[in-house]
Amino acid sequence: MIVHGGAGGRAAPADRSERRRGLLAAATRGGEILRAGGAAIDAVIAAVTVLEDHPFFNAGYGSLLTTEGWVEMDAAVMTAERRGRSRTAYPEIRAGGVILISRVRNPIRLARAVMDLTPHLLMAGAGAERIARRAGIELCRPNELISPHARARWLANRAAPDARAASPSETKAAGGGDKHGTVGAVARDRHRNLAAATSTGGVPGKLPGRIGDSAIIGAGLFASARGAASATGAGEAILRAGLCRGAVEACGRGTPHAAAERAIRMLDGAEAGVILIDAKGRIGFAHSAQAMEIATFDPFVGTRHLTPAAMTAIAE
Ligand code: ASP
């Protein structure tokens, strides 16, 4: 399993250990499920839920705010599950996503409810939030999702809008970190089922109603018999390129690392990152931002956190 905490600028030194703890906690939580024989879909949702609850990541509580000062989140899950024992059997592909969510603390759980409880794939706003009641997911007030840091940052950007684009080290929370900060996870379980999940508060300075790549199948996430991927970064560029689908399809032509790198090159320099796991359980990742942090879980080596420097070394 791999978990990411967004691609963007390097986290402020004061925030690094807390972000590291958050990513490790997410990978540990997902890893426990996989180790116990649980499903890849349960593992990615558990990992993403940990990061949505963590105020240092741009998802769930502490998401970035729109120009009008509210949280609007997007999230989705996708799974490719094997039917029967045959290696060649075509997998069952399922997906669910939600966009423009402002009254649910864990949009990734709502995305799963859309997948499990409705005939639909993608639902928006109030209609999606109505599914929460059916799924036993508690609704909150929109202002309960706004962290003090997200509010402070929004106020600062309002006072000096030009600083927003100029500061690559801005974060959604706690004063440092990255310009983005979306979260995501991909996993393969012992039955060789694959799953991907992505959740975001969007990009800094977004207009109300803006929808990014994170909940869009093929762009912010993808899963097929070949592999599963989750993306982060400049949503408009990721959408245009169909980043995650490109990465998963490239898995058939080489290692997941090479596939991730090839997919990132399709973006022509736009700032983004992708994590990838293939049908054999091999992992890959690549990014074009200043930094992207990830944590991994492997039943043989346990949980590891990879700093941007370690990631570069591994990729080389
Ligand atoms: N891709 C997300 C979006 O465009 C932002 C991010 O990954 O930081 O909404």
Helical residues (DSSP H) of 118-200, grouped into ranges: 125-135, 148-159, 161-166
CATH number, residue 246: 3.60.20.30
pLDDT in the model for residue 166: 36
Residue pointed to by tokens 């959408």: 239
Residue nearest to atom 8 of ligand 1 (CA): 180
pLDDT in the model for residue 38: 97
pLDDT in the model for residue 312: 55
Least confident of 70-74, 167-171, 212-216, 305-309: 167-171
Which atom of ligand 1 lies nearest, measured to the CA of 220? 1
Evaluate the CA torsion angle 170, 171, 177, 183 in order and state its sign: negative
Tell me the CA–centroid distance for residue 180 and ligand 1, in Å: 6
* 168, 26 contact by CB (below 8 A): no
Tell me the residue range of the domain where 9 lies.
2-315
Which atom of ligand 1 lies nearest, measured to the CA of 272? 7
Tell me the CA–centroid distance for residue 204 and ligand 1, in Å: 9
Q: Does ligand 1 have an atom closer than 6 angstroms to the CB of 179?
A: no
pLDDT digits (tens, 9 = 90+) for 49-66: 999 999 999 999 999 999
Q: Does ligand 1 have an atom closer than 6 angstroms to the CB of 233?
A: yes
Structure tokens at 290: 């200043």
Q: Does ligand 1 have an atom closer than 6 angstroms to the CB of 200?
A: yes
Which atom of ligand 1 lies nearest, measured to the CA of 273? 7
SS3 237: helix
Where does residue 125 rank: exposed (0-12), middle (13-18), buried (19+ CB within 10 A)? middle
Tell me the CA–centroid distance for residue 60 and ligand 1, in Å: 13
- Sheet of strand 92-101: strand arrangement: 122-124, 92-101, 73-81, 194-200, 183-188, 2-8, 291-298, 302-306
* 306, 297 contact by CB (below 8 A): no
Instruction: Give the whole-angstrom CA distance, residue 219 versus residue 29.
Output: 26
Question: Cβ contacts of residue 137 below 8 Å, gap of 6+?
Answer: 104, 106, 109, 110, 113
Question: Cβ contacts of residue 150 below 8 Å, gap of 6+?
Answer: 62, 63, 64, 65, 71, 172, 173, 201
Q: Does ligand 1 have an atom closer than 6 angstroms to the CB of 199?
A: no
pLDDT band of residue 41 (cuts 50, 70, 90) is very high
Per-residue pLDDT, averaged over 23-29, amounts to 98
Residue nearest to atom 9 of ligand 1 (CA): 202
Q: Does ligand 1 have an atom closer than 6 angstroms to the CB of 235?
A: yes
Active-site positions? 182
Which atom of ligand 1 lies nearest, measured to the CA of 211? 9
Structure tokens at 204: 């800094």
Residue 241 Cα to chain centre, angstroms: 17
Tell me the CA–centroid distance for residue 257 and ligand 1, in Å: 21
Least confident of 10-24, 252-266, 282-296: 10-24
DSSP state of 91: P
- Count structural domains, the chain: 1
- Flag whether pLDDT at 173 surpasses 50: no
pLDDT in the model for residue 175: 36
Q: Does ligand 1 have an atom closer than 6 angstroms to the CB of 28?
A: no
Instruction: Give the whole-angstrom CA distance, residue 148 versus residue 88.
Output: 51
Structure tokens at 131: 């599914």
* 30, 197 contact by CB (below 8 A): no
DSSP state of 51: H
Tell me the CA–centroid distance for residue 252 and ligand 1, in Å: 26
- Flag whether pLDDT at 33 surpasses 70: yes
Q: Does ligand 1 have an atom closer than 6 angstroms to the CB of 201?
A: no
Which of 158 and 33 is assigned the larger pLDDT?
Answer: 33
pLDDT digits (tens, 9 = 90+) for 276-301: 999 999 999 999 998 899 999 999 99
SS3 70: coil
Per-residue pLDDT, averaged over 164-181, amounts to 42
pLDDT in the model for residue 308: 58
Tell me the CA–centroid distance for residue 84 and ligand 1, in Å: 36
Q: Does ligand 1 have an atom closer than 6 angstroms to the CB of 63?
A: no
SS3 223: strand
- Flag whether pLDDT at 100 surpasses 80: yes
pLDDT in the model for residue 248: 97
pLDDT in the model for residue 242: 97
DSSP state of 250: H
Instruction: Give the whole-angstrom CA distance, residue 313 versus residue 316.
Output: 5
Question: Cβ contacts of residue 136 below 8 Å, gap of 6+?
Answer: none
Which atom of ligand 1 lies nearest, measured to the CA of 210? 9
Angle between the N-to-C axes of helices 256-265 and 243-250, in degrees from 0 to 180, rounded to the nearest 10? 140
177: left (phi over 0), alpha (psi -120 to 50) or beta: left
SS3 95: strand
Mean pLDDT for the chain overall: 89
